Structure 1
Amino acid sequence: MGKQKEPIALVEAKGRKHLTKAEKAEREASEPVLSAPASGEGSKIRAPVWLPAYLRDDFNDLRTQLVEAGIFSKLDRDTLGRYLVAQRQYTAAMRQVSDALDAQDVEAVAAWGKEQERCFKQCRACAADLGLTISARCRLVIPEALRPKEDPEEAAFLKLLEGRRRDA
């Protein structure tokens, strides 16, 4: 399996590869474009019908945060639902492991430990897909139109810091 292609905006930001205008246009045309919901439309994204009622408030809270960050669309709602279910299952398994440890039940600790690990992996995978982890957010490329407007003084300060970093 080959290396995954990076979005053209990320390639240009790194500045390591020179592309002709034709190559840039071809890459941009081949990249999928998903726009974040317009202002107010994010609240129209409903939780999946299969999501338990007790997780819907959590869904709405995270949905709001992800929409504000410009990294959530209707296509992501099932992944967010799976994340919340896996997180809930992980918490339940964690309690069972703790209870088994208190009871000094080695077999129960081993069984629930495996379940806890499985739930953690599911939760981690969904969190990475949604950009909920630090490393996942570092890989995100947010389109220029969705980026917050920069303060000119802050931009000058960032350029100064970037220059110092290059010189070091």
Structure 2
Amino acid sequence: MSSKAGGAKSTRKVQGVKVVADNRRARHEYEILQTFEAGLVLTGSEVKSLREGRTNLAEAYATMKRGELFLLNSNIPEYREANRFNHDPKRPRKLLLHKREIDKLANGVQREGLTIVPLKIFFNPRGRAKVDLALAKGRKMHDKREAIKARDWGREKARLMKGG
């Protein structure tokens, strides 16, 4: 990926979907059980900052407050040209989901002790900012090692089958 002027990261497009940020660490740290697509309530300067590809999901997670879902610890840096109308980079952002999906997520967190982690932020073909959320179970260190071994073995098998 080439970088744009000003040091902003470029984003990649997949069939009209413009991926802004990918939380690869979440796939390593957690076992993904179910995924959901949620809308984001953003200010104008946040949208412009996202369009430049500037965000970080490394420490982000979602939580329930008064029956609503919020994305916490996601860092969307200030938009340079917004000057005094800028946003707080670490503010909680409301997530938009159907009531049935919110209930399913709340049930997983309360009863089963699962975590809601963001997997990626993207713009859909209509230009709306969306976030892929996952209902996930934290992996222990030995589980992570097993996953790495299984992945490496799969690559080795593919290489051997290819004849190389």
The interval holding the TM-score normalised by the smaller chain is: under 0.3
Whose relative contact order is higher, 1 or 2, with alpha carbons under 8 Å and at least 6 apart?
2
TM-score where L is the length of structure 1: 0.20
The structure carrying a bigger strand percent of its residues is: 2
